[in-house]
Homo-oligomer: A and B are copies of this chain.
Amino acid sequence: MPISFDVTARDAGTAARTGTITTEHGPIPTPAFLPVGTAATVKGVWPDQLREMGYGCVLSNTYHLYLRPGHERIRKLGGLHRFMGWDRALLTDSGGYQVFSLGSLRKVADEAVTFRSHIDGSLHELSPEKAVAVQEALGSDIRMVLDECVEYPAGRREVEESVRRTAGWARRSVAASSREEGGLFGIVQGGMFPDLRKRSAGEVCSIDFPGYAIGGVSVGEGTELQREVVDLTAPLLPAERPRYLMGVGTPADILFAVSRGIDMFDCVLPTRNARNGMLFTSAGPLVIKQARFAEDPLPPDENCGCPTCRSFSRAYLRHLYMQREILSSMLLTVHNLHFYATWMERIRQAIRVGNFGEFMKESLGSAFD
Contact = CB atoms under 8 A, between A and B. Distances in A.
A83 B315 contact: yes
A84 B330 CA distance: 14
A313 B77 contact: yes
B327 A41 contact: yes
A325 interface: yes
Interface residues of A, number: 38
A283 to B, nearest CB: 21
A221 to B, nearest CB: 31
A236 interface: no
Stoichiometry, as copies per complex, reads 2
A85 interface: yes
Contacts of A43: 325-327
Nearest to A72: B295
A151 B47 CA distance: 45
Interface in A49-93: 68-69, 73, 76-78, 83-85
A41 B85 contact: no
A280 interface: no
Contacts of A45: 327
Given A40-B320, A41-B327, 12 more contacts: A44-B327, A68-B319, A69-B322, A73-B295, A73-B315, A76-B295, A77-B315, A83-B315, A83-B316, A83-B319, A85-B311, A326-B330
Interface of A: 39-41, 43-48, 68-69, 73, 76-78, 83-85, 294-295, 297, 307, 311-313, 315-316, 318-320, 322-323, 325-327, 329-331
